[in-house]
Chains A and B, each alone.
Chain A
Amino acid sequence: MERSTQFGSSQQLTRRQLIRRTLAIGVALSSSASLLAACGGGAQPTPTPAPQAAQTPAAAAEDKLEIFSWWTNPGEADGLAALFEIFKQRRPGVEIINATVAGGAGTNAKAVLVTRMQGGNPPDSFQVHAGQELIGTWVVAGKMEPINDLFEQEGWSKVMPKTLLDQISYKGEFFSVPVNIHRSNMLWYNKKVFADNGLEPPKTLDDFFAVAEKLKAAGVTPLSVGGKDKFEVPHLFEDLLLAVFGPADYTKLFSEPSLWESDPRVDEAIEVLDRFLSFANEDRSALSWADAAQRVIDGTAAMTIMGDWAYGYFINKGAKAGEVFGWAPSPGTDGMFMWLSDSFGLPKGAPHRNNAIEWLKVCGSREGQDAFNPKKGSIPARTDPDRSVYDEYLLYSIDRFAQDALAPSVVHGAAANEAYMTEYGNALNVFSASRDKKQVKSMLIEAARELKT
């Protein structure tokens, strides 16, 4: 190109060159500017307070409310919408920004949330599992506002069970409003398969093995287990731990980490899990919990142990409760209620604080909980619900929640912090594949190191 100037009119060409070069500079500058902007948005260590600052003018600020959750599936999304409806009635004119992030058990949402909180751009209120997931991750880090006044004003301490209140408080202060309770220690079974083989749902661990033997002989997979979302086998194990330890000693495992090494019942629980898995499908690492549950209503498997969101799944699939499938507490845990709870908190620096507080009032209200829970397929965290809006299973669960001994779930964030949850999950997922009892024991002991806070 340069060479061509040799024989042409040099002056003209250089001018053209000049124009071309100026253009190039313009393009380069604008593209690198947009590159800088793009990187700046995603860059973690550089806080970006700009969008927040733009919203601060008081008049503009209070006409919005941003709620962050991972409720995107049918059922849970409907429940969330029902809460929004009530909020809109109380605060007409406020625009609700529904900031949901899809993805298994909130994994993706949690990552987005952490980035936003660290960048100084919190939502007005966000979904978090009540318990250590809230306390160990957010409260200890000083990112949440205590809401004692709200609890006092609304009288929630009187209508929520003490075990639950203990789990959402830290150093005597409350930090979130629980909207629901799920039960994780449930056994779901196929009615027809059980009737054909003349079986009753197993009550104890020994019952389970007797039933499983008969089912295996009849050519049915006794226990259907998933594993694709990496929480299914850890979930099964916490139910077995509860059966072996009982609620009080089970809960102690998470306040006294040394028990994992010293208590022989840990080995017993591992042994039981190994026997359970010997009655389970081999292809579990390729199945989600829902795939595993599907086999139960299809009748190719007889039982699955899963939280009561499986109930919502069955109903959605058109299977009739009590006809196609039945339920019982998971073997050995009759009279015990392994709970987990979704709650909403108030992050420090919430851009629309007044609306956020009104939102929390909706979440904690009887009206709000009775609108939300029948749709989500969970029971209210309050003990005074309107029983007429709940169906057969949920009424059963409400009664059990009122009577049973409560124990917090590990896998679902109630019993321990996230670092422990991950290590504990890793240990059991390796075990699900390797079935190496010594190895899982040592990995569980290693995981227990994450428990001291």
Chain B
Amino acid sequence: MAGKVAEQVRPRVARREAEARVRFPRVDRFIPFVVLAPSVAAILVFVYGFILWSTVVSLSRWQGIVPDLTFVGFRNYATIFTSYRFQSDLRNTIVFTIFFLIGSLVIGLLLAVLLDSRVRGESFFRTVYLFPMAISFVVTGTAWQWLFVPGTPQEPTGLNLLFRKLGLPVFIAWSTTSEVWPGGGWQPDWLRVPLGIPLAMLPVIIAAIWQMSGFTMAMYLAALRGIPDELREAARVDGASEWQVFRYITFPLLQPVTLAAVIVLGHISLKIFDLIMTQTGGGPGFATDVPGIFMYETTFKSNKYAEGAAIAIVMLVMVSVLIVPYLIWRLRTETER
């Protein structure tokens, strides 16, 4: 750079910085710790401390109002994993997560690509698509529950009423069927629930996608806007079709955003509670039940604190399986930089 000027300036600056350090030496070193200490302490206690506490409770015999921390090993885990309800919870969580992730990502990307083509009234559409995210899952659940109440064949309600009015012959039991698709099939002895997709889960997945695809759209839109036009222009000049530009230029550049979205949506779906609680309450049977609801009812309805804690720990492990590799990857790429 402008070597000469820098050479003249640098010693002066260094001296002043040194003076400044001399004048406030302890404060400067002290301040970051003071500022960070309370939140570190709070996190240590209220995050890690309580994780530890839950683990201790999950290994205890505590059932009922009075705490009983007698160690019983993994008995509570054995109880929940062999129960019909928890097995169906795990199946439902996997189904929900897969469909919810794919649905939100695909629809979000689609909306973002459409908006990115500079449509008129873009900000209007952006607001419309983002708006569901501003609504609580509880509201979403209640509203979609009304839509999916099937009614009777004589008197359909909700969406079924709409279908009937439109002259469509369908009568779908929506959220009240307990069927699992494809049903039947291979089911080992230890497994108490049929594997497959519980059909009653689909209304819940639709509501969840409705709520969160605006979020993925916003993320993708920001990413698309961040891709320099020169890159795409260069490709077009080289004779690439629009699809090829998207496939070979745009799409690969969206990968980091996709990963971030997967992490955010993934932990939401693994811990989901409010949406399902309000929309189906986990029913019919346990076709839409998830570990969050099971944990709530076990702990606060049956007062089985030890088993409730065990469910919570399993949920924590599920989320960690998703988050920890991401954190490691982030850490590695950041140190490489």
A and B: real partners? yes
- CB atoms of A434 and B16 under 8 A apart: no
Measured between C-beta atoms, what is the minimum distance from A443 to chain B in Å? 7
Residue A227 interfacial (CB < 8 Å): yes
Residue B255 interfacial (CB < 8 Å): no
Q: Which of B53, B64, B85 has the most CB of A within 10 A?
A: B64
- CB atoms of B31 and A21 under 8 A apart: yes
- Cα separation A70 to B85 with both chains bound (whole Å): 28
Residue A32 interfacial (CB < 8 Å): yes
Smallest CB-CB separation from B65: which chain A residue?
Answer: A141
A418 proximity list for chain B (CB < 8 A): 301-303
B42 proximity list for chain A (CB < 8 A): 32, 35-36, 39
User: Which residue of B148, B151, B285 contacts A430 across the interface (Cβ within 8 Å)?
Assistant: B285
Residue B176 interfacial (CB < 8 Å): yes
- CB atoms of B38 and A29 under 8 A apart: yes
Smallest CB-CB separation from B160: which chain A residue?
Answer: A283
User: Which residue of B154, B284, B287, B301 contacts A300 across the interface (Cβ within 8 Å)?
Assistant: B154
- CB atoms of A141 and B66 under 8 A apart: yes
Q: Which of A95-151 contact B (CB under 8 A)?
A: 107, 110-111, 114, 117-118, 137-138, 140-143
> How many contacting A-B pairs (Cβ < 8 A)?
132
- Cα separation A21 to B152 with both chains bound (whole Å): 66
- CB atoms of A230 and B176 under 8 A apart: no
- B101-118: CB near A (< 8 Å → 1, else 0) gives 000000000000000000
- CB atoms of A5 and B285 under 8 A apart: no
- Cα separation A43 to B31 with both chains bound (whole Å): 30
- CB atoms of B285 and A118 under 8 A apart: no
Q: Which of B194-245 contact A (CB under 8 A)?
A: none
B287 proximity list for chain A (CB < 8 A): 433
Measured between C-beta atoms, what is the minimum distance from A424 to chain B in Å? 11
Q: Which of A25, A117, A283, A433 has the most CB of B within 10 A?
A: A283
Q: Which of B54-111 contact A (CB under 8 A)?
A: 63-66, 84-85
Measured between C-beta atoms, what is the minimum distance from A76 to chain B in Å? 21
Interface residues of A toward B: which range? Answer: 35 or more
Smallest CB-CB separation from A419: which chain B residue?
Answer: B302
Known: A14-B20, A419-B303, A419-B304. A283 touches B65 (CB 8 A): no
- B296-316: CB near A (< 8 Å → 1, else 0) gives 011011111000000000000
Q: Which of B124-178 contact A (CB under 8 A)?
A: 145, 148-152, 154-155, 173, 175-176, 178
Q: Which of A201-246 contact B (CB under 8 A)?
A: 221, 227-230
- Cα separation A285 to B150 with both chains bound (whole Å): 10
- Cα separation A67 to B65 with both chains bound (whole Å): 20
Residue B190 interfacial (CB < 8 Å): no
- Cα separation A285 to B286 with both chains bound (whole Å): 11
Known: A137-B303, A419-B303, A443-B84. A434 touches B285 (CB 8 A): yes
- CB atoms of B152 and A110 under 8 A apart: no
- Cα separation A25 to B38 with both chains bound (whole Å): 10
Residue A6 interfacial (CB < 8 Å): yes
A283 proximity list for chain B (CB < 8 A): 149-152, 173, 176
B17 proximity list for chain A (CB < 8 A): 5, 10
- A417-435: CB near B (< 8 Å → 1, else 0) gives 0110111001001111110
Residue A282 interfacial (CB < 8 Å): yes
Q: Which of B34, B148, B176, B304 has the most CB of A within 10 A?
A: B176
- CB atoms of B283 and A228 under 8 A apart: yes
Residue A389 interfacial (CB < 8 Å): no
Residue B186 interfacial (CB < 8 Å): no
Residue A18 interfacial (CB < 8 Å): yes
- CB atoms of A140 and B64 under 8 A apart: yes
A140 proximity list for chain B (CB < 8 A): 64
Q: Can you name 10 A-B residue pairings with CB atoms under 8 Å? A: A29-B38, A110-B300, A111-B301, A137-B64, A227-B283, A283-B173, A285-B283, A418-B302, A434-B178, A439-B84
Q: Other than the known A21-B31, A33-B38, A110-B301, what 4 A-B pairs have Cβ atoms closer than 8 Å?
A: A10-B19, A229-B281, A286-B176, A300-B152
In order of increasing CB-CB distance, the 7 nearest A-B pairs are: A433-B285, A32-B38, A433-B178, A285-B284, A433-B284, A141-B65, A111-B300
Binding site for A on B (CB under 8 A): 9, 13, 16-17, 19-20, 23-24, 27, 31, 34-35, 38-39, 41-42, 45-46, 50, 53, 63-66, 84-85, 145, 148-152, 154-155, 173, 175-176, 178, 280-281, 283-287, 297-298, 300-304
